[in-house]
A and B are shown apart, each in its own frame.
Chain A
Amino acid sequence: MAKWLAIVSTLLLANAPGLHADDIDQWLSAISKTGAGAAGSRAARVAADQLRDQGIVILPRLLDAMDTPNVVAANWYRTVFDDIVQVELKSKSPQLPLPLFRDMVRDARRQGRLRRYLLDFLDRFEPDFRQSWIPGQLDDVEFREEAVAIALEAAQQAKQKQQPDDARSAFKKAFQHARREDQVRAAADGLKSLGLDVSIVKHMGFVTQWYLLGPFDAPGKTGFKLRLPPETKVDLQATYTGQDGNPIQWKPYQTSDRMGQVNLVQAIAPVKEAVGYAYAELESPRAQEVQLRCGADDNLSVWINEKIALARLQWLNGTRLDRFTATVSLRQGVNRILVKICQGPQHKNPAVSNNWSLQLRFCDKTGAAVGLKPILPANSTP
């Protein structure tokens, strides 16, 4: 009886789409309003129950609704979708809208989480789809890493088969599209093994040409809060009193590290309880919003065009790629970048090494360089 009622109800809905349209719109809309502060949860619960009762005919509407940056609303829709699909999967011949699933997976404008979710469904019903589709997604923001992994695998196989041209071509393709550190390194290493050097620094947008100043004295862990002269004005000609009363000056430095790390122990001095500064000028071809990604040991503050862009207090955690990220605006032409890097006391355990380092890059949202050009600061003495 219940099954029959459900079928009749479904048929009615399917044959008279306008009949329930207002209700369905209202229920979907109620869920779309959930978000910060758990707003709209009660209404969403009621709406979810109503939508669940509609059965599989509602799935396309739910999928459209799930394609939202509002993760709270997306989860509400998902619970309804999952419950309906679970019921459908128990039937003898499940009727899921697989062509729609495929279209949405292919559509890079859709939310990545929704595309992955549907791809998982397709794996169950069309297991060949993933294998045939993923390799072409080298520019796909969501599936890039899987596609690059396949390209790398193809390159390694070609290399093993003594097919250097094919291997080089595949490694090049992988390098060009790779954004994840291990994949970038693997592609660069693969190319190097075949006699081709590529620059990870250029590919990922690391800043490697700096003017460095230090060490300033900063007893204990006071460095982060100290306000020292470069934070007021960068004067590359000035001389300051550094740690132990020694005079210190800005000096140019270019790191040769393939991942753009600046080892301040080598570049400035093997000191403790100190502050150092790094300064660079970068020319941007246009005004643009970019990502500042950086890390330091021990901690760092970053100013862009004299405005603080990021400051993170941390000690003894090492310099790791893209540890901190901030979206920042660069102006067309010259942009001034000042970085303060603090060095804390020696770790209680003398075996812990005395690291003091910096890594910083500017990139787009995918992690690719954004065409900045290092230039010689105007008031420097070449």
Chain B
Amino acid sequence: MNTRSQVNLCIKQASFCYTMMRFLLPVILCGLSIPAFCPVAKAEQWAQWRGPDSNGVALQQNASTQWSATDGIRWKTPLPGSGISSPIIWNNRVFVTASDGVALNELHIICLSRQDGKLLWHRRLWGTAPTRYHGTKSSMASPTPITDGQHLYAFFGTGDAFCVDLNGNLVWHRSLASEYGKFENRFSATSSPILFKDLLVVQCDHYGNSYVVALNKNTGVNVWRNERPDSWLSWSSPRLAPVSGSSAVELILCGSLRVEGLDPATGKPLWTVSGMRHECIPTPVFGHGLIYAVSGPKGPTLAIRPGGRGDVTQSHVKWEYRRGAPFVPSAILVGDYYYLIDDQGITSCLNAVTGKRAWQKRLPGGYTASPVATRDHIYFANEGGQVTVIRAHTPRYQQVARNDIGEPIFASPSLASGDLFVRTSRHLWCIGGQTN
């Protein structure tokens, strides 16, 4: 064996030891330590757009209701570039995306320590084809990433989907814009991907050839892909909904003029409901056996019973409410009440079962972020940085607090274990310290 071979052998052995320790150490520690360090309960994760149940709600917890830019802040960390994607939280890590550069085609995936907000790693990547975007209300980093605890999946308005491991190492990259055509969008794509079993589902509705694609999350390879010839620009995210009385799960897509149900495993179209507006931004919520879909501005909310076949507009729409629809913020369902906030702050609370309005109230400011809720409270963040906290589960408007963080908020907040994570135009803030 010559010198070079010996050196290479040493390197390989050292590398093997390092690799083994890197993977085994957490397992060993987990086995020895208290449950808090082991895989954590659902309430401690916010792994995707709109949280554990895709409804924007963390029902098992409460969070701070009062803070300011200087009080009640656990940490805040500056972020590069711009973005309105929400942070996601998995165990002791917080992940967030951003974009910058002349055309916003410089993409960032950032991992912070949940404990203190310190940077753990920062992966920079190039995007394929940046589109037009709204100067303040969107960037190429508008879609929220998602994690299954093994990998992180990030989709960007440049038409790129990335899979990285939780240490930031690239696993695969799909340049959908190269393969299927550059996105034609005026506010940048915002649709956040979702996971269904081994599939990563990405909805790509734009002025050009729209489609929805399901990628094998491990390899990035297409499992199925549906053209959406009658859909054009929309920004809504797909979601899953169970079908009452069966084990079936349906993939729900909001797009131009209709809501659609598909078989998530195959992409097979199941049903459609007409009545949406041309451009859909909010993501539907689910509860009481119903999908609540809204499209605006001034479009309707449709409460749809999943499980149909064909055009079920006449048979599966339980109720329709024609006022108060937002253009951008998604609605939220908390218990028996469904809350809408439009872009100008008009907030409506409906009975989720009947669709009857319980109250309406104008909140200050303009709204891009979608509301989030804990067990007892709902948080409405306006573009000026004010967050109005109201009491949930009541038939009347009850304001608990209004807090000003002093920086514009366009991204929807996230919640995990009693901490509220707020992305402003400059920082990621962790608001914590009080639960009740």
Interface residues of A (CB under 8 A from B): 1-2, 5-6, 8-9, 12, 16, 19, 34-38, 41-42, 44-45, 48, 53, 71-72, 74-76, 78-79, 82, 113, 116, 145-146, 312-317, 320, 323-324, 348-349
Contact = CB atoms under 8 A, between A and B. Distances in A.
Given A71-B175, A324-B207, 8 more contacts: A34-B173, A36-B179, A38-B220, A41-B172, A71-B128, A75-B162, A75-B173, A324-B184
Interface stretch (B3-11, B54-62, B377-385, B422-430): B3-11
Contacts of B178: 35-36, 71-72
B11 A53 contact: yes
B207 A78 contact: no
A72 to B, nearest CB: 5
Nearest to A111: B126
A79 B170 contact: yes
Contacts of A146: 102
Main secondary structure of the interface of A (DSSP, over half): helix
Contacts of A75: 125-126, 162, 170, 173
Contacts of B171: 41, 45
Q: Which 6 A-B pairs have the closest CB atoms?
A: A38-B220, A41-B172, A38-B172, A72-B173, A71-B128, A75-B125
B399 interface: no
Interface SS, B side: mixed
B219 A38 contact: yes
Nearest to A2: B14
Interface string B168-209: 011111110011000010100000000000000000000110
Contacts of B14: 1-2, 5
B278 interface: yes
A9 B7 contact: yes
Interface in B111-166: 123-128, 160, 162
B73 interface: no
A78 B11 contact: no
A25 to B, nearest CB: 17
Contacts of B3: 12
Interface centre among A8, A41, A323, by most chain B C-beta atoms within 10 angstroms, is A41
Contacts of A44: 170
Interface string B1-36: 001100110110011000000000000000000000
Contacts of B126: 71, 74-75, 78, 113
A82 B160 CA distance: 19
A312 B172 contact: no
A41 B7 contact: no
Contact of B175 (A12, A72, A78, A314): A72
A41 B169 CA distance: 12
24 contacts: A5-B10, A37-B221, A38-B173, A38-B174, A38-B220, A41-B171, A45-B169, A45-B170, A71-B126, A71-B127, A71-B160, A72-B174, A72-B175, A75-B162, A76-B173, A79-B123, A79-B125, A79-B170, A113-B105, A145-B102, A312-B207, A313-B232, A348-B298, A349-B298
Nearest to B127: A71
A349 B297 CA distance: 11
A315 B160 CA distance: 27
B105 A78 contact: no
A76 B184 CA distance: 26
A314 B232 contact: yes
B278 A315 contact: yes
Interface string B349-372: 000000000000000000000000
A145 to B, nearest CB: 7
Interface string B83-122: 0000000000000000001100100000000000000000
Contacts, number: 97
Nearest to B158: A71
A113 B127 CA distance: 10
B4 A19 contact: yes
A66 to B, nearest CB: 9
A121 to B, nearest CB: 12
Contacts of B232: 313-314
Contacts of A348: 298
A120 B282 CA distance: 37
Contacts of A12: 3-4, 7
B222 interface: yes
Contacts of B333: none
Nearest to B14: A2
Nearest to B160: A71
B184 A78 contact: no
Nearest to A9: B7
B233 interface: yes
A311 to B, nearest CB: 11
Contacts of B233: 314
B15 to A, nearest CB: 7
B67 to A, nearest CB: 35
Contact of B124 (A36, A45, A78): A78
A315 B257 CA distance: 13
Given A36-B178, A36-B179, A314-B233, A5 B170 contact: no
Contacts of B4: 12, 16, 19
Contacts of B15: 53
A76 B160 CA distance: 13
Contact of A41 (B101, B102, B186, B220): B220
B101 A37 contact: no
A201 B22 CA distance: 62
A78 B160 CA distance: 15
Contacts of A42: 219
A108 B354 CA distance: 64
Which of B3, B124, B126 is the most central at the interface, judged by chain A CB atoms within 10 Å of its CB? Answer: B126
A9 B127 CA distance: 34
A145 B124 CA distance: 24
A53 B7 CA distance: 13
A98 to B, nearest CB: 19
A9 B278 contact: no
